[in-house]
Amino acid sequence: MTDLPDLLTRGGPVVWAIGLLSVITLALILWKLFRLSTLGAWSGGRVTAQAITDWQSGNPEGALSRLAPRRSVRARLAHAAMSARRDATLTPEAAREDTTRIARALLAELRGGLRPLDLIVTIAPLLGLLGTVLGMIAAFQALQEAGAQADPATLAGGIWEALLTTAMGMAVAIPASMALTWFDSIADRLQAEMEDDATRIFTRGGAG
């Protein structure tokens, strides 16, 4: 049975490039999980909801004190929206614009690192296909040089080595695509929740 070092040797530079992509993919996924955790992707919703309830019941100081120590994106946006709403120097339109600006920055934090994953999803299969094409060219060149003395086993070996890169490219792209879709769905959910929080803050409650 062919071991990993032998596969890397037979696959050539393309296999090494795909192997490097796999390491980068894993690092990006782990970093993104950590980053989403620090941004409160799976926490902070209850505290934010309680703070908005305080705000709507006429207790803005209590609402702001709940949110001040929190670092989740929902809590940070809610705190910014409440602060802007209470700022006497800002018109309602200016307060909304200031909140929208902060929301864009928070969403950029949420979606950070997704473009590199998207790029890997695109180029990993293409690298695999490139390796297969190059390998097939080399296999058929060897077949042509062998002429009538060609060994079918040798040709078959060259073909499976060429197809190896396609399999490796897909093995990298599939989990990267799954992770990208999942991270996108988390960002979309948080965006919808943040929009709802801001709407509730600006339509009712403790501006005074």
For 151-173, write each residue's pLDDT tens digit.
666 666 667 777 888 889 999 99
**Domain count of the fold of the chain:** 1
Q: What is the mean pLDDT of residues 20-30?
A: 95
What global pTM score does this model have? Answer: 0.83
173 domain-assigned: yes
What SS3 class is residue 43? coil
Contact of 76 with 106, CB cutoff 8 Å: yes
7 domain-assigned: no
90 domain-assigned: yes
The conformation of residue 151, written as its DSSP 8-state character, comes to -
126 domain-assigned: yes
208 domain-assigned: no
27 domain-assigned: yes
Return d(Cα 199, Cα 208) in angstroms, integer: 17
44 burial type by CB count under 10 A (0-12 exposed, 13-18 middle, 19+ buried): buried
Full domain range(s) for residue 181: 13-203
80 domain-assigned: yes
4 domain-assigned: no
Model confidence over 176-207: pLDDT tens digits?
Answer: 999 999 999 999 999 999 999 999 999 875 55
Q: What is the mean pLDDT of residues 31-37?
A: 95
The conformation of residue 57, written as its DSSP 8-state character, comes to T
